[in-house]
Amino acid sequence: MLSSRLIAVISFFLALTLVRGFEGTIGVNYGTVANNLPPPAQVAHFLLESTVINRVRLFDANPEILRAFAHTGVAVTISVPNDQIPDLTKLNFAQQWVEDYIQPHTPATNIVRILVGNEVISTANKLLIVSLVPAMETLQTVLVAASLDRRIQVSTPHSLGILSNSSPPSTGKFRQGYDTHVIKPLLSFLRDSNSPFMVNPYPFFDCSPDTLDYALFRPNAGVFDENTRVFYTNMLDAQLDAVFSAMKLLGFDDLEIVIAETGWPSMGDATQFGVDAKSAAEYNGNLMRHVTSGVGTPLMPNRTFETYIFALFNEDLKPGPTCERYFGLFRPDMTPVYDIGILRPTVAAAANIEHATCLLVITVGLLIIKNHG
């Protein structure tokens, strides 16, 4: 029988291993729609030294922010604004864009991905939609010519509004018209360029008082998919599998899916339910554990998902209802809104980790000697 002390040490060590497991697959969306945020250099230093986050998604290609992340190793994703997509279909414009926003910063800044627009199909803007794939292709051509295509991927994030059906997940299907004329060519481009399909699933916006537990990964009655005989215990899995089913219908179930945005606000209007720091901590904490666990989803088992939490900071100038300004993991003074294990341990805690690891090795060694000696 293992001693209670050994069990405690092993449990402690495993818990620390799980926290460390967040690193590398969990990123944040670094939005800047605020007038009280710290300087980018301070933010980059904070993320590098004080958190386990080593991936950042930007909603633009702000040179000051890109310079701030130089020599940090943080994987940076930058974005082309929606209104520039039609221009990006022109080779000269794409070349100039790369010269202005990529080449001055790489390889010092670890730019790993360029997102062409955000939720473009959901805008219903015909010019943007028909320009999307040609813009991505032109940008990829420029990256290839500059020998940057192996370092930098090109993709674009989608809202779940691209689906005409999502329930049950096995019946997931892209909107008619967009499926063959836009999404299928897009998926072909992503496959050819070894880039992921990126989505913005938000259980927060799709849940009701009756499905709040389902959205927050709490114990719940779940949802049964009659077609696959699969039982869903959380809404995120159902959303991701609906996207997977839609991709499979078009013959692209081999592509990686990346969660470009997801999150939960810590404050909202009085009429909203489940909007508080406790719920936000539950969602984001459970999210991190789930996507890094390797369990996957019912239709995509045994995999992890690169995931970007929205957002790094509360952003006081964002329009819309109150909750839009309170999705941040941190306040502008860089104190956490709630604790979900993103902050690195202190030096003292780090020393405790080393001590616990050594103790574990020594204890296991003594047990082996005792049992075989």
User: Could you say which DSSP state residue 325 is in?
Assistant: G
Catalytic residue among 99, 137, 256, 261: 261
3-class secondary structure per residue, 220-237: CCCEEECCCCEEECCHHH
Active site residue 226: no
User: Could you say which DSSP state residue 38 is in?
Assistant: P
Residue-wise DSSP of 101-124? HTTTTTTTS-EEEEEESSS-GGGT
Q: Report whether 243 contacts 160 (CB < 8 A).
A: yes
CA distances to 32, 91, 97, 105, 196 from 61, rounded to whole Å, are: 12, 19, 10, 10, 20
Active site residue 119: yes
Burial class for 1, CB neighbours closer than 10 Å (0-12, 13-18, 19+): exposed
Burial class for 273, CB neighbours closer than 10 Å (0-12, 13-18, 19+): exposed
Amino acid at 331: R
Q: Over the range 315-338, which residues count as b (16 or more CB within 10 Å of their CB) and which as e?
A: beebeeeebebbbbbbeeebeebb
Catalytic residue among 23, 64, 99, 119: 119
Q: Report whether 165 contacts 172 (CB < 8 A).
A: yes
* Residues near 58 by beta carbon (within 8 Å), at least 6 away in sequence: 30, 65, 76, 77, 78, 79
Partners of 177 in the β-ladder: none
Which residues are designated catalytic? 119, 261
